[in-house]
Structure 1
Amino acid sequence: MGKDIGSRIKYHRLSNNLTQSDLSEGIISISYLSKIENGVADPPEEIIGLLCAKLNINPKSIESQKLVDLCDNWFKALFHKNMKEVDATYKQINENMNFITDTSLLHLIEIHKLRYYLIQKSQQKASEQYILLQSLSKHFNSREMYYWLKFSGYYYFTNLSYSKALNLFQKAKEYIKVCKYNCSIFFDYFINFRRN
C-alpha cells in the first residue's frame, strides 16, 4: 500500500493546493510526509487514515473496472466532442473521484479536464487547470506526458500562441508511440480542433 497511497496523498495534496506543511500539521513531521509521498516510508494505517481524512479521501478504496470504463468513455467522448455524453460522464467521474486509487488514471482525468474546459470555452477554468497540471507534470509517465503536451498545445492555440502550440504538438508527437491512437488520428484531432 505504501508507494501507491503515498502518490495518491501527494496528488490530492497538490490538487487541494496544500503544502506539505499544511497537510502534515498536527499529524506528522514534514520530512516524514515527504518520505510517505515518495514511497520511501510505509506508515501505519492510523497515520494514513489521518492524512486521508484531512484530504477527504478514502485510503482503502478499490478502483473498480466500472470507474476505469467510465473514464475511458469520457476520454473517447471528448475526442469525438460528443458533449451530451461528455457532460454526463464528467458528472459521474466527479462524484467518484475519491474512489479512484490509480494515480495514473487520476493524472489522465486532470489532464483531460484541460481539454474539457477548452472545448467548453471556459478560459478561466482552463487557465487554472493548466497551472495545476504544471505542478503535477514532473510526475507524469510517458502516456500522461503525451496528453499533457498535446492539450497544452491546444491551450496555447486557443490563446493565439501558435508557435508555442506547434512546438508542444511536436513534442507530443515524440510520445505518440505509447498512445493507442496512431499519428494520423493525432493530426486529424489537431485539424478538427482548429476548425472549431
Structure 2
Amino acid sequence: MEYGKILRFHRVKQGLTQNQLADGIISPAYLSKIENDQTVPAFEVLELLYERLGLDFNDSSFSHPSKEKLKEWYEAIVLKRTDEAELLKEKLMEQKETFENHHLHIFYELYRIRSFLSKNEVEKAYEVWESIRQYSDTFDEEMKFYYHLVYGLLQYYKGNFEESFQKIMEAKNYVSKLHIENWEYSDLYYHLALSASQAHHVSASVYYADKALELYKNHYDLAKSADCHIILGISYNRLKDYAKSLENYHLARKIATQTKDNQQLKLVYINIAVLESRIGNHQSSIINYKKSLEYSQESETSFDLYELLNIIHGLIIEHFRIKDNEGCKEWIDKGKAKLSSFPSESHEYHFEVYSKLIDNSLDTINYLEKKVIPYFKDKNQHVYVIRYSKFLSDLLEQQRMYKKSSEYLRLAINLLNKHSHLGGIML
C-alpha cells in the first residue's frame, strides 16, 4: 500500500504543510521522503501521522465494497444508463468513505468528470479536473489511466482535438498493466477513433473505429455501431474512397432508422451532403442537407443550434456553387435570422461573405483581406482560409491586381496540399 501518497493527498486536502503534519512526530524532511515513497517508516510513525489526519490506519480501500459501487456508477455513465447512474451516485454520496478515503475519493472525482461531460457540463467537469490535478503525483496506474482518459475527453469537448488524441493515447499506454472489461476497451477505442478523426489522423481513426466496431457488434450495441460507421464514412471520404465512405454511411443510416435515432440520421445526411459536394454533385448535396433538416430536433441547446447553422452554411455554399443566387440569398436570410437569437462570429462571417459576393459589394475584397481570412487563420480553420483565399484571389485578378492575387492563390494551394484530407462532420 502506498502510504506516502495517501498521506500527501490528505495533508494537501486538509491544507496542512509538511511542518504542521510532522510537528512532534518526525522531521519535515523525513516526512517528505515518506510522501515521495523514498523510505518506509515504522508502523508506529505511520499510525501517529494517520491519527493526526483523522484517518483509519487499518482501512483498505483497494478491496473496499464502495470501489465496486464506484465502478458500477462509471459503467452506467459510460453506457448512458442515466437513471441508474443517478441512483448509484446518490448511494455513493451517502457513504462517508467516498470522500474521506484517498483511493475512493480520487476515483469518485475522476468518474464525476465523465458524468459532467455526459451531460455536456464541460466547465463543471474542468473544475473537478483542476481540483484533483494537484494530487496527480499520488495516483496509482489505474488512476492514471482514467486521469489521462478524462483529460483527453475534456480537451475534445474544448475543441483541442490533437491534444485530446495524444492524452487518450497516453491512457491507452496503461491498459496493459490493468484489467479492464470489454465495454471499457470499446469506449477507449471509440474515443481514440473520434479524436483521431477530428485531429485528421485518418489511418489511426480507421484502425480504432474498426476495433471499437467489432466490440460493439459483439455486444449488439447498435447505437455505438452506427457512430463507428459514421466515423469510418468520414475517414474513407478523406481517403477519397467514396464508395466505402457511402457504404458506411448507408450502414449507419440503416441502424439509425431501425433505432429511430434522429440525431444519427441527421449526421448521416449531413455527411453524405459533404461527400456529394466534394465529388461535384451539388444538387444531390442540397437534397441531403435538406433531408438532414427533417431530423433536426426543435432544441435550444447550443450544440443543436450550432449544427443548424452549419447545415444552413452548407446550403448557402451549394446554392452559390450552382449559381442559384436566389436560393443562396434565401438561406443567407434564414441564417442571419438564427444569428439574432444564437450569435456565432464564424457564421456571421460566412453568411456575410456570400451576401457580399452575390451582391457584388464594392468592399468584398477589403472584407475578405482585413477581417475574414485573418479571423480563420487565427482559429486555424484551414478549410475556410483556403476557400476565402481562393475567392479573394479571383476578385483581385478581376481587378488586375495580379501580384496580390497570386499571393492568395499560393496560400490556398499550399494549405490545400498540406490539408487535403479535410472534410466530414463529426458527431
Pair in the same fold by TM > 0.5 = yes
**What does residue range 72-87 of structure 1 map to in structure 2 within 5 Å?**
72-87=71-86
Q: Provide the residue aligned with 1:186 in structure 2.
A: 188
Whether contact under 8 Å (1:110, 1:133) holds in the other structure is yes
Counterparts of residues 94-109 of structure 1 (less than 5 Å)? 94=93, 95=95, 96-97=97-98, 100=101, 103=103, 106-109=105-108
The answer (yes or no) to whether the contact 1:12–1:55 under 8 Å persists in 2 is yes
Structure 1 residues 129 and 142: CA distance shift in structure 2, 3 A: same
Aligned to 1:59: 57
Cα RMSD over matched residues? 3.4
Distance between the aligned counterparts of 1:44 and 1:187, measured in 2?
Answer: 43
Partner Cα separation in structure 2 for residue 148 and residue 50 of structure 1:
31
Query: Is residue 34–residue 41 contact of structure 2 (8 Å, CA) maintained in 1?
Result: yes
Counterpart Cα distance in 2 of 1:115 and 1:149:
12
TM-score (norm 2): 0.38
Structure 1 gaps of 5+ residues are: none
Instruction: Give the TM-score taking structure 1 as reference length.
Output: 0.72
1:50, 1:122 → 2: CA distance?
41
Cα distance in 2, alignment partners of residues 17 and 112 from structure 1 = 24
Q: 1:13 aligns with which of 11, 18, 26?
A: 11
Identity of aligned residues (%): 22
State the partner residue of 1:143. Answer: 142
Of 149-158 and 135-144, deviating more is 135-144
Partner of 2:303: none
Kindly provide the amino acid, as one letter, of the partner of residue 29 in structure 2. S
Cα deviation, residue 179, structure 1: 4.8
The residue aligned with 2:170 is: 171
Q: Which structure has more RCO (C-alpha within 8 Å, separation ≥ 6)?
A: 1
> Which stretch shows the higher mean deviation, 16-25 or 155-164?
16-25
Q: 1:86 aligns to what SS in structure 2?
A: helix
1:160 and 2:159 are equivalent in the alignment = yes
Q: Kindly tell me: are residues 141 and 41 of structure 1, through their superposed partners in 2, closer, same or farther at Cα, counting changes over 3 Å?
A: closer
Give the letter aligned to residue 165 of structure 1.
S
Distance of aligned partners of 1:70 and 1:154 in 2 relative to their CA distance in 1, 3 Å threshold = same
Moved over 6 A (4+): none
- Unpaired runs of at least 5, structure 2: 195-223, 228-425
> Partner amino acid for 1:97?
T
- Contact 1:5 1:59 (C-alpha < 8 Å) held by counterparts: no
Per-residue deviation, 1:89: 2.4
- Tell me, in whole angstroms, the C-alpha distance in 2 between the residues paired with 1:127 and 1:26: 39
2-structure distance, mates of 1:187, 1:88: 28
Q: CA deviation at 1:153?
A: 0.8
Q: Which residue number corresponds to residue 415 of structure 2?
A: none
Contact 2:47 2:57 in 1 (8 A): yes
Distance 1:87 1:111 in 2: 16
Aligned to 2:366: none
Larger Rg: 2
Give the paired residue count.
Answer: 190
